[in-house]
Structure formats: C-alpha cells, structure tokens
Structure 1
C-alpha cells in the first residue's frame, strides 16, 4: 500500500537513499534539503510523487511552516523521518564556542521542532509513525564526538518520552540507530583546531584510526533504508532499531557495562532513601 513520507536531509546519505527506494516502490515523498537542485534527477523521473522544499533545520519558524505546508498540500503524511544532521569533530576543549550552539540547534533543537510541528497533524489524522534517525552514538561514545553525542543522547531521551505521550493516540515512534555508514557523513564533519596535548591521548588515537582506515565503516546505507521501510510497514515497530554489526556489538557492550556498574554500587544507591 502506497504511503506518504516526509524526510529531512535528503540531499545525500541515508536520507537520499531512503527517498530513492521509496519512490522506486511507488510511495510519495515530501523531501526537504538545503540545496534544491540535489534531487533534480529524482524529480525528473518521478514527477508529482516527489514534493521538495528547501529547509534549514536551525530556522525554527521555517520548520513549522514547511511541515504545515506539506500536510496542507499533501493532505496526509504517514511517516515523518527526522534525518538531517551533521557531526562536530574534536575534543570538548578543542571545539570552538560558536560551533556548539549550531550543532545543538541542527541535531537536537531542529529535530525537536520537527516532531513538535508534526504532532498536531498526526493526532488529527489519527495515525502516523515518527522515525528519528539518531545514531549508535546515542547509546555509546567515542572521543572527539562529545558535542555530537550530546545531541544524539538528548534526542533519544526526548523521543523515548514522546513515544509514551503519543501512544494513546495510536501514533508510533522509532529511534533509528545506524553505526558508522558508508555515506558522505565523514566528509561533512566540521573539524575543530587541534590542541597538541590531545594528540598523544585517546583523542589522537581515534583521529588516526579514522584517517588510516582502522576505524571500521561497514554500514550499508541501502540495507539500512530498506530496513526502515520494512519497519514502517510493521504492526508493532520497535522503539529503537540498531543498524549494523558493529552497532550491535558496541551498544550491547555499553549497556552491559552500565548495568554492571549499577549493580556494583547498588548498596550505595539503595542506602539513599529515608527509612521511615
């Protein structure tokens, strides 16, 4: 059955691949991006089934306006995919002060604004599925990505809460957690100036691993997009969908370590309550 999808960040990466696959399957896509010409080839091939709008995720007013216009012009949208984002690369001390709010505004605030703008429409139509593209980095952490992780951990907490709030209305939420994927994401990283003291630490180790290829990037964006489409078709989609072999290993190890630490200090935790 044909559905209508609204997707942000469609000029490249998973957003672009997802748009391509949906159109090939006969679905309709409302695609937003910053460069309007980036989807010219798909528009020429698929015509009116591809609705395109320019959107900068840090423009809070524009986010709501574009969402409202998409629902008004397309009548109904079945799936909202919050995908736009980028990575700020550098140790916390290295990152420029002015770059911090832009990372937060794009990855976290922009996603929050998109979801909030969509909710009145989804409630009114009585159905809908929100997919937030977070990251393996919303469950695990790597040196050099502290600000990126802050946004991904933040949006996961927001979406998990919203999932509980919207369930009574028949609305669904899935947090998608891709690991390192073979897209243009690495090329779009904004890199902070290097502080030499960090070069001989774990920070430098990660940088060198990325540069020499030791940091495995195995994720297949085509397979990930197909998995997202399949999940949107399921009756009971998961709250979280981890994508990639390394993602599974990393998230499992992180969760096990957290649980072990919780248990190790259980005696302290439980001693903090009033006894009366």
Structure 2
C-alpha cells in the first residue's frame, strides 16, 4: 500500500519560466501547494517567490545535463523533504523537414524533449520509491500520437517520451508511483513563436511549407505574432489538478484541451486505416 502524500504536496516542475510551466506553478501555489520550479533563468520568477516565500523555491536547471539534473533533484528534495508531483514540461518545437534538420538540431531536440525528461525521471524515482508514493507527469502533445509534415523530429521526441513512459507506468505500478502522459492540444503560449526553432529550408520543400503554414519563410516573423485564440494555459493546469486527485478511471494518457480529442481521434483513425491495408490483419474490436 502506498503511503498517502502529505498535505500540502510538493511539486517539481521543469521548464517553469513561462507558458504551460508557469501556469502549472501558479496553479499549484494558488492551491497552497509547495513548488520547486526549475528553469534556465530563475530570476524571471522572482515576483512569484516574493509573493510566496514559504511555498516556492526556484533552481537553475538545463535538463540536458544529466549530472545537473540529479544534483538539482537532491536540492529540491532537501528543500521540502519530499516530492509528490513531478512535471516534465521542459521542451520546444522544431520546424524542419527530415532532410533539412542538421545533426546538431536533431540531437538538441532529443536531448531536451526526450532525454531531459528521462534524466529527471531517473533522478526522482529513488525518492518516490522510498516514499512509496508520487506522481510523474510527462507533458506530451497530440504530436505524440500523430505526426505533421515539417515537425518530424518534434514528433519523434514526443513519441519516444510516450514509449518509455508507458513502460515506466507498468514498472512502477507496484511501488506506489503513478505515471500520466498528458497529451495537450493548442494553448495560448509562445510555443510557436519564442520557443520555436527552425532548420534551414531547402527550396524543394517550399510548396509543402506554403500548404502547411501559409508561407515559405523560415523562420517566420517573430515580431508579428498573431492574436492567439487557443485555450488559456490555466485551463491545462486546472485539468491536470483534477486528474491528480482522480481516483476513478485514472487513465495513463490524459487528453487536455478542447481541440485535443479530435486530433487524437484523427491520428488513430489514420493509423488504423493504414494497418487495415495489410492482408491478414484485423483491427481489434
């Protein structure tokens, strides 16, 4: 039997400086929870630290550095004496057809989106095992279910994240540890702007870019970000908070965002239809 987490819980959140990560931090603080927020530049959260000095700690972390990850997790554990909710949120998008992406860009994408989450997961597991409790949340996206042209390496990083996390869920189920893969749809963050990176384009893929993005320009003009009508990131934080206390169906994959169910359904239908082209294969009833 897992030990019940103390109240308030302790959250460990990566990529906490802006967007979804910051929304997770603010949501936890609003609920009176304790938070260790990690990010490249801790000073950006100084106003939150000043407003919640007893509840919030910030630590500098580049999740690509495995040694640093283990050190920071030790510091986080020492700060509050336990860890209850671990959110692997650090990541970014990369625009580039497979042929266009350089070795350095491909490795950087996987180092951040996949290996960063892996290192954090490995670092927190001894703490959670000793507690016999804890919840690891991997922030994926609908891009972890399907694919989109010019986002192949981003998709690959999220597919890899989901694969090891599904195996992890089975490995730690008897240890009192719960795993969630959060598949997010569109939210009003700077993911497609300030957090986006771009490979150098080849003219052969300009028609594809025109159809997909409405422009052949790479990178697109970051100073002309349109008004984002996607959902407020606080909605994702609220959905996750509800899921963390859910004692009902407890799905491994949590679909978050009004547009996410349709994207997931379309991706799975496309895969199903492709498998059905194979003689002798029958899609499970």
TM-score w.r.t. the length of structure 2 is 0.88
Aligned to 2:255: 242
Matches within 5 A, 1:134-213: 134-187=140-193, 188-201=195-208, 203-208=209-214
Is structure 2 residue 233 aligned with structure 1 residue 218?
Answer: no
Deviates more, 1:226-235 or 1:107-116: 226-235
Q: Secondary structure at the match of 2:52?
A: helix
In 2: Cα distance, 1:158 partner to 1:193 partner: 30
Q: Deviations over 1:157-208 (max 9, x none)?
A: 010000000001121000001112210111211111221111112x332222
Q: List, as ranges, runs of 4+ consecutive aligned residues in structure 1 with deviation greater than 6 Å.
A: 209-214
Q: How far, CA to CA, are the matches of 2:183 and 2:231 in structure 1?
A: 11
State the Cα distance separating 1:217 from its structure 2 match: 5.8
In the alignment, the residues of structure 1 paired with residue 147 and residue 64 of structure 2 have an alpha-carbon distance, to the nearest angstrom, of 25
Quickly say closer, same or farther: Cα 1:109–1:144, change in 2 above 3 A: same
Match of 2:161, SS? helix
What CA deviation, in whole Å up to 9, does each residue of 1:59-93 have, x standing for no partner?
Answer: 11001111122112311111000000011111111
Q: Which residue of structure 1 lines up, in the alignment, with residue 67 of structure 2?
A: 61
Say if 1:218 and 1:244, in contact at 8 Å, map to a contact too.
Answer: no
* Partner SS for 2:259: helix
3-state DSSP of counterpart to 1:116: helix
1:17 aligned residue = 23
Q: 2:53 aligns with which of 44, 47, 55?
A: 47
Task: Answer yes or no: is the 8 Å Cα contact 2:180–2:251 preserved in 1.
Answer: yes
Q: Distance in 1 between matches of 2:17 and 2:94?
A: 19
Provide the C-alpha distance between the structure 1 equivalents of 2:32 and 2:74, rounded to a whole number of angstroms: 24
What is the distance in 2 between the residues matched to 1:162 and 1:117?
14
Report if aligned partners of 1:9, 1:85 keep a CA contact under 8 Å in 2. yes
Going by fraction, where is helix more abundant, 1 or 2? Answer: 1
Point out where structure 1 has 5 or more consecutive residues left out of the alignment: 270-276
Write out per-residue CA displacement over residues 200-235 of structure 1, whole angstroms, 9 at most, x where no aligned residue: 12x332222797999x96232111111111111122
Determine helix, strand or coil for the equivalent of 2:8.
coil
Does the 8 Å CA contact 1:178/1:219 hold for their aligned counterparts?
Answer: no
Residue-pair matches, total: 268
Is the deviation greater in 179-188 or in 48-57? 179-188
Per the TM alignment, residue 268 of structure 1 is displaced from its structure 2 partner at its CA by 6.1
What residue is the counterpart of 1:256 in the other structure? 269
Alpha-carbon RMSD = 2.1
Distance 1:217 1:144 in 2: 23
- The residue that corresponds to 2:4 in the other structure is none
Q: Cα distance 1:139–1:38, how it changes in 2: closer, same or farther (>3 A)?
A: same
2: distance between equivalents of 1:206 and 1:244? Answer: 22
